[in-house]
A and B are shown apart, each in its own frame.
Chain A
Amino acid sequence: MAADQLSLVFGALADPTRRAILLRLSRGDATVAELAAPFDVSQPAISRHLRVLENAGLISRTRRATARLSHLQAGPLREVTTWLARYQRFWDESHERLDDLLAALQGDTKIDPGRASAAQGEE
């Protein structure tokens, strides 16, 4: 995905209502009325959110009889969440390892008694 497209997706995802709409669409296609139901906002307001999501390539819209259905487009979502998931995982794992190290440095043997006593034996 081009960087400007990534920024467009980020912009669309910055709003909590739009993220909730995507979450709902991940369970299946829905009409504007269905999407508006859980929120304290008007259908025109939901329609504006849908236009932003459509513009970012995150959803597509089709007609079923008189109702307009929204459909989640997973591609751009996957790219941006993969981007964040990688970064999140890098730091989550690093910081969990740092937790263990800090505990060991403070003589907390609860974390790994085997390793701690082995280290003491070497000293």
Chain B
Amino acid sequence: MAKTQITAEPGIPQVIIAREFDAPRELVFRAHTDPELLVQWLGPRDCTMTIDYYNARDGGTWRYVSKDSQGNEYGFRGVYHGNPTPDATARTFEFEGMPGHVGLETLTMQERDGRTLVRAVSSFQSLEDRDGMVASGMERGVHDSHERLAELLTTLWAG
């Protein structure tokens, strides 16, 4: 089973997410750009996703709000630069809890043998932006034992 790989290199204000899907890339691309499909998968199961607007075209704006089980709302928004294609999608993103800290996200999709590898690179203006946005935008209580922490470490930095 494919597993989402997240790389957050120390000292570099980027997060790279890579994941392979068992579907042709045209379909994977549609699932990322069609708001009716996007709303069906984006976000954890215990959060409610509302897509305010989502215009996946050159200059098009997008905004969605994720609401967790405690009722906290997290809004994200941005603008597409160029018409998105499976080869290259570029857009800005901003967590509304940290206005002005705008980042850039690029998305590429490669198909091989009917499977599609999606790679998303999020570039932040600073390490503080990266750490701050991820920490505050996805707040939830996680309390792990010592052993769980160490296991997590080996999993997250595997390879």
Contact A86 B138 (CB under 8 A): yes
Contact A102 B150 (CB under 8 A): no
Interface size class of chain B, counting residues whose CB lies under 8 Å from the partner chain: 35 or more
Interface size class of chain A, counting residues whose CB lies under 8 Å from the partner chain: 35 or more
Contact B41 A88 (CB under 8 A): no
B11, CB-defined interface residue at 8 Å: yes
Q: Which of B142-157 contact A (CB under 8 A)?
A: 142, 144, 146-147, 149-150, 152-154, 156-157
Contact A102 B152 (CB under 8 A): no
Q: Mark B125-159, 1 if CB is under 8 A from A, else 0.
A: 00110011011001110101011011011101100
Q: Which residue, A19, A84, A98, has most C-beta atoms of chain B within 10 A? A: A98
B-side residues, CB < 8 A to A, are: 2-4, 6, 8-11, 15, 17, 19, 21-23, 27-28, 31, 37, 40-45, 127-128, 131-132, 134-135, 138-140, 142, 144, 146-147, 149-150, 152-154, 156-157
List the 3 closest pairs (A to B, CB-CB), nearest first: A10-B10, A97-B41, A102-B23
